[in-house]
Amino acid sequence: MLYELAQSLTSGLLIGSALAVLSVGFSMAWGITHVLNVAHCAFAVLAAYLGYWSLSLWGIDPLLALPAMLPLFFALGVAMHRLLIRTAARRAHDLGLATMVLTFGLGVVMENGMQLAWTPDPRVLKTAYSSLTFSVGPLIVQAPHLVAFGLATLTIGALYLFAERTFAGKAVRAVWQQPMGAALSGINLDRVTTIAYGLAVATSAVGGVAMSLLYTFDPATHLNWLVYVFLVVILGGVGSILGSALAGLIIGLIIGASSVFVPLAWNNLVLFGLLIVLLLLRPQGLLQR
């Protein structure tokens, strides 16, 4: 029992890192523009499919395809902000709700577009290292989990350095903290938000590839992933990069623990219940100061 728990917690922690990288962009976009991009995980599933096809059609590993995907997804994020969000924001009475419905529509379009293109069948990514395992002491670690962890650490680390060290990153943080003040100090709000959107969608591509290493996926999976993302973001606090990272790991541990104590079919219910309780008690986030 104890061994089983330790094993589950280890893989839970690594899964949690994938959840963190899936969530960090969503959190950033929500924090900066108060827009809930409900289609965030639809982009992630799209990236998972692109990785899957690059492997099965051309034999290119998703990890190698990822650098090519990043600019594409950055552009998609920019386009989404320019074409959809800004127009809706000009007309809406209530930005949060209007954009939530808007991105919901986008998610529906993307999900069904992917179903048309690639059928609703679930896909399993079979990479060269899929069945590879390492043993750390008595525990067994699967290679895909480690790769996902590496991807997540790299991406979140890079994003953190961007936000802390670069001028553009500081501008993004300034807009998050105090949009009016940022505008008064000469920061171009529009430009900064566009960049933030591009980055958010680009990180969703990393998250999608990382998740596809761990789980089977189909076009409708994005709603399930979205539940994880909400959990992570609400726990970590909206807009916080390190908060997302920490919350992702915590959620991963909870998933690991619940897989030992709760029957598989009820796992989702545990998460739903947790999210509802969390939303009711502290909608502003547990880890937020």
Partner 1 sequence: MWRVLSGSFALPTPDVMLGIGLALVCAAVPLATPSAYALSFLFTVFMYGALAGSWNIIGGYAGYLSFGHAAFFGLGAYTTALLLFYFGWSPFLTLPLAGAVAALFAALVGYPCLRLRGPYFSLVTLILGLAMYSLALNLPFTQGSTGLFLPFLKVDVYTSHIIFYEIMLALLVIVTAVLRQITHTKMGVGLAAIREDEDAAGTLGVDATRLKLQAFMLSAFLTGLVGGVYSYYKSYLDPSFVFATSISITIVLMALFGGRLTWYGPLVGAVTLSVVNEVLTTQAPPQTARIVFGALLIGVIMFLPDGLMSIAQRLLPTLVMRRAQHPAARDETAL
**Interface with partner 1 (CB under 8 A):** 36, 84, 87-88, 91-94, 96-102, 104-109, 111-113, 115-116, 223, 227, 230, 265-266, 268-269, 272-273, 275-276, 279-280, 283
Distances (CA, A) of 134 to 7, 18, 138, 140, 147: 13, 19, 10, 6, 12
Contacts of 9 by beta carbon, 8 Å cutoff, 6+ apart: 253, 256, 257
Closest separation in Å from C-beta 88 to partner 1: 5
Closest separation in Å from C-beta 173 to partner 1: 23
Q: Are strands 133-136 and 139-142 parallel, antiparallel or unpaired?
A: antiparallel
Of residues 71 and 122, the one with the C-beta less far from partner 1: 122
Number of other CB atoms surrounding residue 178 within 10 Å: 12
Of residues 127 and 224, the one with the C-beta less far from partner 1: 224
Closest separation in Å from C-beta 154 to partner 1: 30
Q: Which amino acid is at 82?
A: R
Closest separation in Å from C-beta 96 to partner 1: 4
Residue 285 and residue 237: Cα distance in Å, rounded? 4
Of residues 42 and 163, the one with the C-beta less far from partner 1: 42
Closest separation in Å from C-beta 213 to partner 1: 24
Strand partners, 135: 140
Residue 36 and residue 31: Cα distance in Å, rounded? 9
Closest separation in Å from C-beta 40 to partner 1: 13
Closest separation in Å from C-beta 35 to partner 1: 9
How would you label 97-135 residue by residue, b for 16+ Cβ within 10 Å and e otherwise? ebbeebbeebbeebbeebeeeeeeeebebebeeeeeeee
Cα torsion at 260, 266, 271, 274 (round to 10°)? -100
Of residues 119 and 177, the one with the C-beta less far from partner 1: 119
End-to-end CA distance of the chain: 37
Residue 207 and residue 204: Cα distance in Å, rounded? 5
Of residues 54 and 221, the one with the C-beta less far from partner 1: 221
Of residues 68 and 269, the one with the C-beta less far from partner 1: 269
Closest separation in Å from C-beta 262 to partner 1: 11
Of residues 110 and 214, the one with the C-beta less far from partner 1: 110
Of residues 32 and 106, the one with the C-beta less far from partner 1: 106
Residue 8 and residue 244: Cα distance in Å, rounded? 21
